Structure 1
């Protein structure tokens, strides 16, 4: 019921968009091979449980359910590991003042993190090594999953954001007009764009792949721009995990905040050869961590 309420809108066009998006995601979900058997506390044990990724430790996020299992509590497993969790804006003090969370984390056997803030929180709470790893979206290939999103226009700026403020909208529209390009917003109803597209996740990949430019402020908008070698810019400074990602890959100069003419960033050349080498190195570290953490004991 809570999810259904998020679809409702007094604006008819937005309501239609939300319903089409919901239907698209439902259809896409059916194509994914997912084991629908959820974790059971009554089962005697699991060989291993992996906690992560994304903001499973962001207890400051009001929209996220703070499950005790995310912190290693009550898990019937011989081996508990984390993969690429993020605490985002949550601080060490936030976690430390809740003894149940800190105590639960001490039940975890192997730790990884995907940003420096999370890394440092773990270091302060548990006396165990922590490995910095890539987000799991970097570990697989998507060529076979990409779909055409049914967008007829060629030559567009893809705008991927939950919502931009007035200044960001103005700068993005000014840039698109200066290049004679359309603005397309996938997955979110940003009606200041020329077109909003309620596509599937696979259609979203196709839209990023075919875009002339990408303007975003999201973590995965930045990731897929990098994976597809796009001219992109990100309002990264406002989001810890986005800033950490770009810094780790030597792309901090893709920051759009404080830049009046965002074209100076979007048109700047990116050495994707160097970036891909960096990703491959970090991918090896990430996969080795998983192999070692999940290896049978003894």
Structure 2
């Protein structure tokens, strides 16, 4: 069987990052490849960075010391989940010889999830372009997450992407950005959309909450949490729903009726899958709500929101984006997913067509 090494932002305690890595692997399997996730661990998420930040901030040091065992437990849970469903290489760190340690393959795939966002990645991380690796390279739903790039980074990106056989991105804005650099690309779905509701069921934990509930998924910084929870409480009261939140540690969410502790990707997937309503500020929270046909409302995160507006626009769901407290009329607006699912099915086929040609 042909082999594929794919690199993506799979590290950290983010359920979307893990699930899009798994989805990428599943899609490559469908295309006839044996996939391996390149286990690159960038400096920003290493334990060395964790302790360096702790030492340089005496005020936060005691908390970091207390939180460390929780970090280990949570990290183990997230990594164990990914390894259960996806072949992952040995860890590769910034100081390692990337060319030597990157698993050799018939094709090298730059994946999704903020991969080419130089702000998110704290600069130009050359590994995400397989810099120095010789062989067939393609980009599958890679994300830039920015509408304007620093001049030196744009120059480097153009140079690297000229070596790619085919390029696809998950944001409409990225297509235009690359077009302005003279680079042709195809707009495709995020990998998580390539598995439908039935295909995602085996990856979800058992149902965690018996009652009917509203799930609040806010993994990113948000400007006004009180505003979001005014909306949450308003919906919950109108529809008689319990408010469920989550944490990857032991700190209860004071805003929620119930907090699910020590979540992993399977538990978050389950919480979305069985919710009556989802309120989120996450791209993947939005994406899974759409894909699993859940009623949802989205607030923008503080950064990198183009990926959210792109998928909402594609599915004709721009009206599910909130900026203020939800109105009484909005609460009772129900999404009819017939047209949405038609769009998704069309886009899935478009994505598979792209991959079939790119992987020839």
What's the Cα RMSD here? Answer: 3.2
Question: Runs of 5+ in structure 2 lacking a partner?
Answer: 1-46, 55-60, 93-97
Residue number in structure 2 paired with 1:130: 185
Distance change in 2, residues 1:47/1:12 (3 Å): closer
Decide whether aligned partners of structure 1 residues 112 and 253 sit closer, same or farther in structure 2, where only a CA change above 3 A counts: same
TM-score, normalised to structure 2, is 0.70
Shift of 1:11: 9.8
1:168–1:98 Cα change, 3 Å: same
CA contact (8 A) 2:208 2:271 kept: no
| Conserved? CA contact 2:108–2:138, under 8 Å | yes
1:68 matched residue in structure 2: 126
- Distance in 2, Cα, partners of 1:291 & 1:58: 26
Instruction: Mark the CA change 1:213 to 1:18 in structure 2 (over 3 Å): closer, same or farther.
Output: farther
Q: Which SS does the other structure have where 2:63 is aligned?
A: coil
Which residue number corresponds to residue 237 of structure 2?
177
CA distance in 1, matches of 2:265, 2:141: 21
Q: Is the 8 A contact 1:51 1:80 kept in 2?
A: yes
For residue 81 of structure 1, give the secondary structure of its aligned residue in structure 2: strand
Contact 1:147 1:203 in 2 (8 A): yes
Q: 2:64 & 2:227 partners in 1: Cα distance?
A: 23
Where 1:125 maps in the other structure, the secondary structure is coil
Please identify, of 45-54 and 286-295, the stretch whose mean Cα deviation from structure 2 is larger: 45-54
The answer to whether residue 279 in structure 2 is matched with residue 224 in structure 1 is: no
- Residue 272 to residue 64, structure 1, CA distance change in 2 (3 Å): farther
CA contact (8 A) 2:173 2:310 kept: no
Deviation at 1:275, TM superposition (A): 0.7
CA distance in 1, matches of 2:66, 2:342: 44
Query: 1: distance between equivalents of 2:203 and 2:237?
Result: 32
Q: Indicate how the Cα distance of structure 1 residues 18 and 177 shifts in structure 2: closer, same or farther if over 3 A, else same.
A: farther
Q: Indicate if the aligned counterparts of 2:89 and 2:103 stay in contact, CA closer than 8 A.
A: no
Measured after TM superposition, the shift of residue 32 of structure 1 is 2.3
Is the CA contact (8 Å cut-off) linking 2:118 and 2:125 kept in structure 1? Answer: no
Structure 1 residues 274 and 13, CA gap change in structure 2 (3 angstroms): farther
Q: Which SS does the other structure have where 1:111 is aligned?
A: strand
Deviation by residue 1:151-172 (Cα, 9 ceiling, x = unmatched): 3x41211001124423223332
Distance 1:237 1:32, change over 3 A: closer
Displacement of 1:70 after TM fit?
2.1
Whether the 8 Å contact between 1:148 and 1:206 is mirrored in structure 2 is: yes
2:12 aligned residue: none
Following superposition of structure 1 onto structure 2, how do residues 192-231 of structure 1 map, counting pairs within 5 Å?
192-197=255-260, 198-231=262-295
TM-score (norm 1): 0.83
d(CA) in 2 for partners of 1:252 and 1:118? 19
Q: State how far apart, in whole Å, the 1-side matches of 2:359 and 2:347 are.
A: 18
1:55 Cα offset (Å):
0.7
Report the Cα distance in structure 2 between the residues aligned to 1:32 and 1:44, rounded to whole angstroms.
18
Equivalent residues in 2 for 1:91-240 (5 A)? 91-92=148-149, 94-95=150-151, 99-127=155-183, 129-140=184-195, 141-148=199-206, 150-151=208-209, 153-162=210-219, 163-164=221-222, 165=224, 166-187=226-247, 190-197=253-260, 198-236=262-300, 239-240=305-306
* CA distance in structure 2 between the partners assigned to 1:13 and 1:262 by the alignment: 42
Q: How much has 1:2 moved relative to structure 2?
A: 4.4
Partner of 1:31: 84
Q: In the alignment, does 2:338 pair up with 1:273?
A: yes
CA distance in 1: counterparts of 2:204 and 2:357, whole angstroms: 31
Cα distance in 2, alignment partners of residues 116 and 123 from structure 1: 11
Contact 2:124/2:153, CA 8 A, preserved across alignment: no
- Distance change (3 Å), C-alpha of 1:26 and 1:107: closer
